[in-house]
Amino acid sequence: MVSDQTGWTLALFTLPARQASTARVRLWRALKDLGAGSPRDGVAVLPASDAAKAAFDTLAAEVAAAGGTAWRLELPAQASEAQRALVSLFDRSADYAVLSKGLAALWEAIPGLDEVGARRRLRQMDKTLSEIERLDFFPGAPRKEALAARQALAAEVNRRFSPAEPTGSAKVMAHLDRRDYQGRTWATRRQLWVDRVASAWLIRRHIDPKAHFVWLASPGDCPPEALGFDFDGATFSHVGERVTFEVLLASFGLDEQPGLKRLAALIRYLDIGGPPVPEAPGFEAVLAGLRANCANDDALLAAATPVLDALQRRFADNHPDSAP
């Protein structure tokens, strides 16, 4: 976010008339990706920042290489009328309006979707929202309204498919010794999905190899001696923006293992959103197929275990610090 009293970075680009249209299209696309405003042909402007200067300098070099000319100028905040005109070049309200229509359409479509389809479309909406926010240098009411609509839609998806989905608490995570958590009973909501199945796998593979699991019809059915996970009031559940898988990693000192760290990004993306992970759609599809074919949650965990083993191994082997 920048102030509406910000200064400006201005660039003037000229390409020779004989220049191929590909160079012009390339320049146009680059300026669009930056979210640059254009008060007139050949002029681009961004709120002043080091990133804006660097981006325009890169484009200037490309234009010069194509036989054109480019100038970069730094301007202070302008007089009120001119400043308002410049700020208006970055009005994203139309983009938010299109997004809001998409969110409304998804809300209406939810009854006809399964969980995988609904959450996939919600993540697509999140991706669109993130892209608009990236270019929204002067956010205001349209952004707030879009965020509220997205939050309400996510709540409706959870209400329909995961009615006991946990909310993020503000509790402080303690560092725990795995030796104190051996041979325990662990409990979570039945009909396992991404965060719960991955957390159960993590518990058995890396925390408590002899863990016994109880799958709950309702969080209120959790036995008093059990360690609950991934529901409100559980011993281990969402904390802030961390999903249960991430909380377990941090609690037991596993969050610096490359394979598990990258797997956590995948689980987080599928559970609550975030930066896209290339392997996520494939894992989600496999998990949906396994859940449809498994008779119960014990069978689902057993079937998902080699898949999660393979993902951890792949992530660890492809980590930059891995030995060749």
Q: Both 84 and 113 in a single domain?
A: no
Closest CA to 273 of 158, 177, 192, 172: 158
Distance CA 103, CA 121 (A): 9
Residues 23 and 37 in one domain: yes
Fill in the DSSP letter of residue 139. Answer: -
What's the rounded Cα separation, in Å, for the pair 112 and 110?
5
Largest CA distance in the chain: 78
- Are 135 and 213 members of one domain? no
* CATH code, 27: 3.30.70.240
Instruction: With residue 129 as reference, give the H or E element that holds it.
Output: helix 115-135
Is residue 242 within 8 Å of residue 168, measured between CB atoms? yes
**254 and 149 share one domain:** no
For residue 2, is it within any domain?
A: no
pLDDT value of residue 324: 35
Same domain flag for 190 and 238: yes
- How many domains does one find in the chain? 3
Range of the domain at 262: 178-317
What's the whole-model pTM score?
A: 0.68
* pLDDT tens per residue across span 23-62: 889 999 999 999 999 999 999 999 999 999 999 999 999 9
Tell me whether residue 35 is in a domain. yes
The answer for residues whose C-beta is within 8 angstroms of residue 108's C-beta and 6 or more apart is none
Q: What is the mean pLDDT of each run of 10 residues along the chain (324 residues)?
A: 78 82 89 95 94 96 92 93 93 96 95 88 90 94 92 84 72 88 96 95 97 94 95 92 94 94 94 85 92 95 97 84 41
